[in-house]
Amino acid sequence: MKKKVLFEQGDYKWIMYGRDPEKSHYVIDTNEYMILTEDGATLMDPGGTEVFPPVVAAISKDVHVGKVHSFICSHQDPDIMSSLPLWMGLCPKAKIYMSWVWTGFVAHFGHEYAPNFVAVPDEGISIRISKNLEPIQLIPAHYCHSSGNFSVYDPNSKILFSGDIGGAILPNDHVQLLVENFDQHIQYMEGFHKRWMPSNKAKLAWIKRVRALKPNLICPQHGSVFSGENVNKFLNWLEALDVGSAITA
């Protein structure tokens, strides 16, 4: 599994894991992100059961999993969080943040961990992940694509984890973890956004929020990370894109 340190300042790091070469061709490729601080680790969209073995193996090289104190799930899809029962077997005290919309549904993966759920209200919340850092923020991204959906913004590193927004379905031989040529990258994300994102209104509300934050990186759960000028290129491209294509089916 590939790994990239996206930000590093002493013990405080943002690490991306993805592109497992041994994954089954039946499952969509996913990126998992970890924020590591001196006070423990936070995993964002920990992934599905299929990718749990490579993800836990990769993460074990950076941190003892017992240090994971928080899981943040952008939404409820199986590729986002079906591995939670496996993770909770290893870090049973960790909190699981997700939209209040999904807690009752996600409990179907294993209700024994439901007491660890933190039901995030629609307006989002701030989470202090380390005593020496500004809290990270769960930013509303509802209907992009899920009805209860959040992005995660870290004001310390100015990194935005965007969940499925910005996602791309890349060919197997695609190696770059960061978008290098935005125009070429469009082909991998255009169909995904047109079909998976249901609402232009919701999309525009999210773009407005994100523009105000001025992130340095936008990190999606599928595909490659947007950095530098590609952040604005992506926001502009998404703004102009007409989504909800299946409405005319």
Which residues form the interface with other proteins (CB under 8 A)? 49, 52-54, 56-57, 59-61, 63-66, 83, 85-86, 89-90
Q: Which CB atom, from 89 or from 121, has the smaller least distance to other proteins?
A: 89
Integer Cα distance of 71 and 47 in angstroms:
11
In this complex, which beta carbon is closest to other proteins, that of residue 68 or of residue 210?
68
Cβ at position 55, least distance to other proteins in Å:
9
Of 96 and 189, CB closest to other proteins: 96
Q: Cα angle at 229 between 224 and 230, to 5 degrees? A: 25
Q: Compute the least distance from the CB of residue 32 to other proteins, in Å.
A: 14
Question: Judged by CB, which is closer to other proteins: 61, or 214?
Answer: 61
> Quick one: how far is CA 102 from the chain centroid?
16
Characterize 119-155 residue by residue with b for buried, 16 or more Cβ atoms within 10 angstroms of its Cβ, and e for exposed: ebeeebeebebbeebeebbbbbbbbbbbebbbbbbbe
Q: How far is the CB of 86 from other proteins (least distance, A)?
A: 6
Residues 16/31, Cβ–Cβ less than 8 Å? yes
Question: Rounded to the nearest whole angstrom, what is the least distance from the CB of residue 53 to other proteins in the complex?
Answer: 4
State the helix-helix crossing angle for 200-213 and 229-240, rounded to 10 degrees. Answer: 160
